[in-house]
């Protein structure tokens, strides 16, 4: 099953990227319709549907990347390392999108592929979302609506953006817990050490990663990586996992806040923090000419030093 999952998905993924690369539409912030790509290896998590979700799952393209919205059925897609290269570590990858859409390429598949090349078995979590308009035009109008500037605060301990625990993320947390349980259940077949399962997330996915860390009663994450997520203070659980945290100083979610870092440090839990000069928000593995582009290398070094890249 492992080899079939990996090979089949890689073929479809390459075809998808090739299609996008040859598409003549400008790779800008404009939202374009996109036919849903085939996801033959997406494993249903069976966590139910979304209440009051009349619209079907649809996809669009923005900044050259495939995005999905109105997701009402959660799935988990595995990316396996090449034969003989797996080190036993696994990572759940949670894309972002404000819990209204998911950046499946930039913050999902591409990240999982990069992890698999390092011997890590990666799993892209396509979790359930809050409903958006069925019409793409109505969705565009909602996306382009005027928004107030982020609030300023002179007190770095007070968050200016909603903390993940202030939102009803019960569906999303259930999806993350189901993903973790599925990995544990299939750990022997997939060559995974159940003591080395981590989770990283981007933007809203970072919020979900933190929500799982703070609130899940079933997930025992070995490490976490919130990437450009909320920076407000949190109540750190006893024996919280080591955290690798990344954000750029020109990201609206930063806003001079160090609360989450301070919380982890004061709780006596391992924490590494990278504040980059630039990168904005949503940079994924990196954008041209940004200092934040080396964060993945730093993450790999951090995992190596903490002995997550050495096969046992």
Q: Could you tell me if residue 151 is inside a domain?
A: no
Tokens of 189: 């077949």
Q: Could you tell me if residue 253 is inside a domain?
A: yes
Q: Could you tell me if residue 150 is inside a domain?
A: no
Number of domains in the chain: 1
pLDDT at 167: 74
pLDDT at 160: 43
Tokens of 107: 């913050």
Q: Could you tell me if residue 69 is inside a domain?
A: yes
Tens-digit pLDDT profile for the chain (312 aa)?
Answer: 444 444 434 434 443 443 444 343 445 689 999 999 999 999 999 999 998 888 999 999 998 899 999 999 999 999 999 999 999 999 999 999 999 999 999 999 999 999 999 999 999 999 999 999 999 999 989 888 886 665 554 444 444 444 444 679 999 999 999 999 999 999 999 999 999 999 999 999 999 999 999 999 999 999 999 999 999 999 999 999 999 999 999 999 999 999 999 999 999 999 999 999 999 999 999 988 999 999 999 999 999 999 999 987
CATH number for position 63: 3.40.50.1820
Global pTM value: 0.88
Q: Could you tell me if residue 8 is inside a domain?
A: yes
Q: Residue 292: exposed, middle, or buried by beta-carbon count in 10 A (0-12, 13-18, 19+)?
A: buried
* Containing structural domain, residue 93: 2-144+156-305
- The H or E element containing residue 241 is none
Q: Phi, psi (5° rounding) for residue 269?
A: -100, 145
Tokens of 194: 């159940």
pLDDT at 27: 54
Q: Could you tell me if residue 312 is inside a domain?
A: no
What are the C-alpha distances in Å from 258 to residues 77, 85, 280?
33, 37, 17
């Amino acid at each position: 099953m492992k080899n079939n999952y990996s090979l089949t998905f890689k073929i479809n993924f390459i075809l998808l990227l090739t299609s996008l690369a040859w598409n003549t539409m400008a790779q800008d912030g404009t939202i374009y319709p996109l036919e849903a790509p085939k996801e033959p290896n997406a494993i249903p998590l069976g966590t139910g549907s979304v209440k009051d979700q009349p619209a079907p799952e649809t996809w669009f393209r923005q900044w050259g990347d495939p995005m999905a919205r109105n997701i009402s059925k959660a799935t988990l897609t595995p990316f396996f390392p090449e034969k003989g290269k797996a080190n036993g570590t696994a990572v759940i990858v949670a894309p972002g999108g404000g819990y209204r859409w998911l950046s499946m390429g930039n913050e999902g598949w591409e990240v999982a592929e990069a992890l698999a090349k390092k011997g890590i078995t990666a799993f892209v979590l396509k979790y359930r979302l809050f409903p958006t308009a069925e019409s793409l035009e109505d969705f565009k109008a909602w996306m382009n609506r005027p928004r107030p500037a982020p609030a300023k605060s002179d007190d770095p301990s007070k968050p200016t953006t909603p903390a993940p625990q202030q939102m009803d993320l019960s569906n999303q947390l259930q999806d993350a817990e189901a993903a973790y349980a599925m990995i544990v259940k299939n750990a022997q077949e997939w060559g995974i050490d159940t003591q080395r399962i981590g989770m990283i997330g981007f933007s809203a996915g970072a919020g979900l990663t933190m929500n799982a860390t703070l609130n899940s009663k079933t997930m025992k994450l070995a490490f976490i990586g919130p990437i450009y997520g909320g920076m407000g203070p949190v109540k750190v659980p006893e024996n919280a996992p080591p955290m690798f945290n990344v954000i750029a100083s020109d990201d609206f979610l930063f806003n001079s806040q160090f609360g989450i870092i301070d919380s982890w440090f004061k709780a006596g839990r391992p924490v590494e923090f990278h504040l980059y000069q630039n990168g904005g928000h949503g940079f994924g593995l990196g954008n041209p000419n940004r200092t934040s582009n080396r964060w993945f290398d730093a993450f790999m070094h951090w995992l190596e030093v903490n002995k997550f890249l050495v096969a046992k």
